[in-house]
Amino acid sequence: MRLFNGKKFADKILGEIKENIEKEGLKAKLAVFLIGEDEASKIYIRLKKEATIKVGIEFELYKYDREAIEQEISEKIIALNKDKNISGIIAQLPLPERLNRDKILSAISPLKDVDGFHQENRRLFEIGEPRFKPILPSAILLAIKEAYRVSVPVFSSVISAQAGIQNKKMLIQERILDPRFPSVVKIFGRAQRGDDKLRGKKAVALVNSDIFGQMLKLVLEKEGINFQYKLKKTCLISGTDDDLKKADIIITACGCPGLVRGEMIKPGAILIDAGIFRAKDGKVVGDIDRKSVENIASFLTPVPGGIGPLVIALLLQNVCLAAKK
């Protein structure tokens, strides 16, 4: 079983971001909202803060307890929308169930929605004119493309003067993992080489967010992948899911350790683990039981070190992109 080295990709991207910030004297600041006490959210926020310090982006955390008043949170977000010192704003998901997630996410200005969840930004992505790339779906797609050894997009944080910031399109540098192919630079779009390897593949995702499931569906179906997602409201495990057993690609983002085990997958399956959970012993694990799948699956994004570092690097690229506007 091959393991995805997300840190390798992330380090390249973070190095480019740091160089770009220093070269241009760019001032960028990320505001993060943590609502409640979700342990996985705390881990991700800590890692995001560490990465911002590394590249020279300012970081501000706004903490609210799980009983916080929704209007109070939205009003603070709206105030930060008007703050010229704030480049990007994110509300760390998941939010407490009692809160209206859509209302809170919609309060973030689409110009500062560096997670890419705002309805306007989703619409722009759908019509091929993205303001920001959707972070987690983009990281997952990159991992899938490496699994099949096709063109893997490494998103450039540098906006071409010729392309122009006003057209809201991003340059992507596509680095071909297969050494037989040269590197190419192209405007945002599907890779032109290797698409046949993805077309028709069956992917199933277990997620805890309908918004994320919808964005992932949009991203993967653009690649010709047959995709469905299932909402997991609990960490109840079932070994009788026929959809999982038939899937070429299984994606998880639930924070439920042991959610997917070896007997639930077919031989050669591609496993993308975007879940994160801190066990009682302090160890960070994902949704997929690595030991039980290692002799069955062909590819796995491990936790930690897989999708997580890449998600953070792509997020900070969006922060820099927002700061340039």
Q: Quote the tokens at residue 93.
A: 């998901």
The boundaries of the domain holding residue 200 are 196-303
Position 232 confidence tier, pLDDT thresholds 50, 70, 90: confident
Whether residue 189 sits in one domain with residue 200: no
State mean pLDDT over 252-264. Answer: 95
pLDDT at 187 (0 to 100): 23
Task: Please give the pLDDT value at position 36.
Answer: 94
Residue 229: which of 286, 272, 277, 278 has the closest Cα? Answer: 272
Domain of residue 242, CATH code? 3.40.50.720
Q: Which two structure tokens, joined as six digits, stand for 175?
A: 């680095």
Q: Which of 131-140, 170-179, 254-263, 309-318 has the lowest mean pLDDT?
A: 170-179
On whether both 289 and 201 belong to a single domain, the answer is: yes
Residues 102 and 118 in one domain: yes
Q: Check whether 183 has a pLDDT greater than 80.
A: no
Is residue 317 over pLDDT 60?
A: yes
pLDDT, tens digit, for every residue of 103-159?
Answer: 999 999 999 999 998 999 989 988 888 899 899 999 999 999 999 987 554 444 433
- 288 and 204 together in one domain: yes
pLDDT value, residue 207 = 94
Provide the pairing of β-strand 29-35 with 58-64.
parallel
Average pLDDT over residues 188-217: 79
Total domains, the chain: 3
Among the three residues 193, 218, 240, which one is the final residue of a domain in this structure?
193
Average pLDDT over residues 88-94: 94
Task: Report the distance separating Cα 140 and Cα 216, nearest Å.
Answer: 9
Mean pLDDT of the chain: 86
Give the pair of three-digit tokens for residue 142. 């990159």
299 and 318 in a single domain? The answer is no
Q: Are residues 36 and 98 in the same domain?
A: yes
* pLDDT given at position 139: 96
Residues 84 and 28 in one domain: yes
Query: Where residue 64 falls among pLDDT bands split at 50, 70, 90?
Result: very high
Of residues 166 and 106, more confidently modeled: 106
68 and 159 together in one domain: no
Domain boundary among 176, 193, 210: 193
Give the global pTM.
Answer: 0.85
Residue 236's pLDDT band, with cuts at 50, 70 and 90, is confident
